[in-house]
A and B are shown apart, each in its own frame.
Chain A
Amino acid sequence: MLMGKVGKLFRTTAFKLSLAYLVLFSIGAGLVLTRVGARVKEVLDEQIEQTVEAEIRALSEQYSQGGLRQLTTAVERRVRAPGSSLYLLTTHSGEVIVGNIEPPTAAPIGGSELVETPYQRRGEPGIEHPALLRLFLLPGGFRLLIGHDIEDHQVLRDILRRALGVSLFWLALVGALGGLFVAHRMLERVDVMSASARRIMAGDLHERLAVSGAGDELDRLAENFNAMLERISELMTGLREVSDNIAHDLKTPLTRLRNHAEAALRGSGDKGAHREALNVVIEESDGLIRVFNALLMIARAEAGYCSDNLAAYDADAVVSDIAEMYEPVAEEQGARLDVVTEPGLAVSGSRELLGQAVVNLVDNALKYGASGAEPTIDVSAKRVGERIEITVADRGPGISPADRERVIGRFVRLENSRSRPGSGLGLSMAAAVARLHHGALRIEDNAPGLRVVLSLPAIRAAVSRERA
């Protein structure tokens, strides 16, 4: 259990990130310390070089002034001084004349370069020390070896190296602990979220992810997930309502149908009554079929229509057709259709479905909006900017603002319309058709009355109506 938990901690993104930073910082620290070490060595070497240079100049002057004797004296004097440099004056064949070191086994050959060479102090054979040495050839075949002990430098270098090691160790320790801490905190919050998500999956759609209030990326994520959950539960509620309504709106006519059949069976058995009952049964089943067709059509339109059946057509022609179709119906009802269309309002979609949608709107207007003192229905199709707006407006009682959003839903029938025939699908179908055309359905106040607007995006090319 503990191992599992620790393993999980190590696998977190936060920990991996900390680890990556740790490696980067270590490399950085290493580079800095190495560079400092190198620079220190450089400076020290330079100093030695300058000292050696000066010594050579001074001693070769002594030699040129007073010959070997004066040089020897000068070297002897210098050797005695505390913290002196290293000197060795030999003859051409290597016999020591004066100096404070043993002749090195691998003496540097001549040149102006200082060479790092191990040496042994005079009187301390067997113990090697590091030194920078330079061979200077004097006229007359004498060889003067001058240099400087650099044991100190190596001590310094060791100190630096140890400092690097120690700092890397602390860096690693602090980094790892910090990484684990951050990872642990993240993991804790993510675990809380995961637990919430599991509970939500298990069915508790009211659960929400915890938001810490820090406004960080996890909070943002949680907020977005919460918004998503909100939407899902809205949709679920909608779906539940729809299925309830479907059940109600299909079961009611099915019950009526069944009752009629039963009543006919129980009845007198006279042929006329049977025929009458059968006619009612057929009528009821036709009504059911209509509801089914409407539901299927909405589902189709919402799922997006087969794209090869979407074509460009003139919306104004459809509106004129439907208005012309309904004009006598309105007249019979004592109402009037006022139709205004602009020519060449091309849209892309399905002419048939738009026709059906406009039929639904006009039908609704005649049913619910043409009863007042002014039974006029305004039907129009016009261009508004980049959009085509098809409007059906009545001067009836209208719909209260609170109900406007709701009536687009499937099977929604407002109280005062329950008694009249209809499936409650007309507006949802019109809205689905609008969406199919990448447009929208708006329900507005006509003050007085109701105005329903199908707002569809216009397409550029106007098409002549294809019609056989």
Chain B
Amino acid sequence: MALMRILLIEDDKEASDYLVKAFREQGHVADHAADGLAGYASAREGDYDVLIVDRMLPKMDGLSLISSLREQKVETPVLILSALGQVDDRVKGLRAGGDDYLPKPYAFSELLARVEALVRRRVGPRGEETHYRVGDLELDRLSHKVTVAGQEIVLQPREFRLLEYLMKHAGQVVTRTMLLENVWDYHFDPQTNVIDVHISRLRAKIDKGRDNPLLHTIRGAGYMIRDGMR
């Protein structure tokens, strides 16, 4: 993943120190604002790829901050962090102009994967592509055809959507919750190994008999599709 410029607006010092350090370790640029007003000023002036906004902030709460930015035509992608994890809070956050919502507590890998997905969506027009290719695996969104080395393979509709999402984010970590949200459109905790089972089914179809598989499991984080040869 290329370098990202991240603005973290979070009042909890310990949490923000940890996050800034973790993002810098990943090679990104991370700035920090400790309250809503300072965050709003930095977000308007600075050139950031993504904003991470805590929902409850002193001086200006997270949701008002986001709506104000959107009113000012600041379209930087926003990920909302919140201790309120319920469905209705999530809906409120997205309605205010947020692009993604992550309830606390979260794993850093989850946050990183989501932030990367948000930035990628903005950087490239990849979302509008109709044809994805990873190695010899190709997916055509219009004809709903998937081929491996030119050989067509048959996927169930859900498997197709799963592969489509993974390929859209090729080279990026995609977490289990991201898959549940984007492929199944549910936001609860996937308790058991539901997603893993679907992935292994998909893997059986696209990686059968390969020495260098395309679909990788990233331990403690999720999955990634990438051309193993590169």
A84 within 8 A of B: no
The answer for the CA separation of A296 and B86 in the assembled complex, in Å, is 8
Contact residues in A for B88 (Cβ distance below 8 Å): 305-306, 308-309
The answer for the CA separation of A211 and B85 in the assembled complex, in Å, is 50
8 other contacts beyond A329-B194, A356-B188, with CB at 8 A cut-off?
A290-B189, A296-B85, A309-B88, A325-B184, A328-B197, A329-B192, A352-B188, A355-B188
Contact residues in B for A309 (Cβ distance below 8 Å): 87-88, 91
Write the nearest CB–CB distance from B41 to chain A, whole angstroms: 32
- Given contacts A325-B184, A332-B197, A467-B185, whether A363 and B87 have CB atoms under 8 Å apart is no
Contact residues in A for B86 (Cβ distance below 8 Å): 296-297, 300
Return the CB mask of A292-315 against B: 1 if under 8 Å, else 0.
Answer: 010011001000011011000000
Instruction: Please pick, from A290, A305, A329, A356, the residue contacting B193 in the complex, using a CB distance under 8 A.
Output: A329
The answer for the CA separation of A468 and B107 in the assembled complex, in Å, is 27
Contact residues in B for A468 (Cβ distance below 8 Å): 185
B187 touches A352 (CB 8 A): yes
A279 within 8 A of B: yes
Write the nearest CB–CB distance from A266 to chain B, whole angstroms: 25
B198 within 8 A of A: yes
The answer for the CA separation of A353 and B88 in the assembled complex, in Å, is 11
The answer for the CA separation of A356 and B191 in the assembled complex, in Å, is 10
Write the nearest CB–CB distance from B128 to chain A, whole angstroms: 15
Residues of B at the A interface (CB closer than 8 Å) are 85-88, 91, 105, 107, 158, 184-189, 191-194, 197-198, 201, 220
Contact residues in B for A359 (Cβ distance below 8 Å): 188, 191
B188 touches A325 (CB 8 A): no
A324 within 8 A of B: yes
A363 touches B192 (CB 8 A): yes
Q: Which residue of B lies closest to A465 (CB)?
A: B185
A321 within 8 A of B: yes
Contact residues in A for B85 (Cβ distance below 8 Å): 293, 296
Contact residues in B for A308 (Cβ distance below 8 Å): 88
Residues of A at the B interface (CB closer than 8 Å) are 279, 282, 285, 289-290, 293, 296-297, 300, 305-306, 308-309, 321, 324-326, 328-329, 332, 350, 352-353, 355-356, 359, 363, 467-468
A293 touches B189 (CB 8 A): yes
Instruction: Please pick, from B158, B185, B220, the residue contacting A279 in the complex, using a CB distance under 8 A.
Output: B220
Contact residues in B for A282 (Cβ distance below 8 Å): 107, 220
The answer for the CA separation of A289 and B194 in the assembled complex, in Å, is 19
Q: Which residue of A lies closest to B157 (CB)?
A: A324
Instruction: Please pick, from B185, B191, B220, the residue contacting A363 in the complex, using a CB distance under 8 A.
Output: B191
Contact residues in B for A352 (Cβ distance below 8 Å): 87, 186-188
The answer for the CA separation of A340 and B91 in the assembled complex, in Å, is 31
A290 touches B194 (CB 8 A): no
Write the nearest CB–CB distance from B44 to chain A, whole angstroms: 29
Write the nearest CB–CB distance from B83 to chain A, whole angstroms: 10
Q: List 16 A-B contacts (CB under 8 A).
A: A282-B107, A289-B105, A293-B85, A293-B189, A309-B88, A321-B186, A324-B158, A325-B194, A329-B193, A329-B194, A329-B197, A350-B87, A356-B186, A359-B191, A467-B185, A468-B185
Contact residues in B for A285 (Cβ distance below 8 Å): 105
Write the nearest CB–CB distance from A314 to chain B, whole angstroms: 13
Contact residues in A for B198 (Cβ distance below 8 Å): 325, 328
The answer for the CA separation of A279 and B186 in the assembled complex, in Å, is 27
The answer for the CA separation of A352 and B201 in the assembled complex, in Å, is 25
The 4 A-B pairs at the shortest CB distance, nearest first, are namely A309-B88, A356-B188, A328-B197, A352-B87
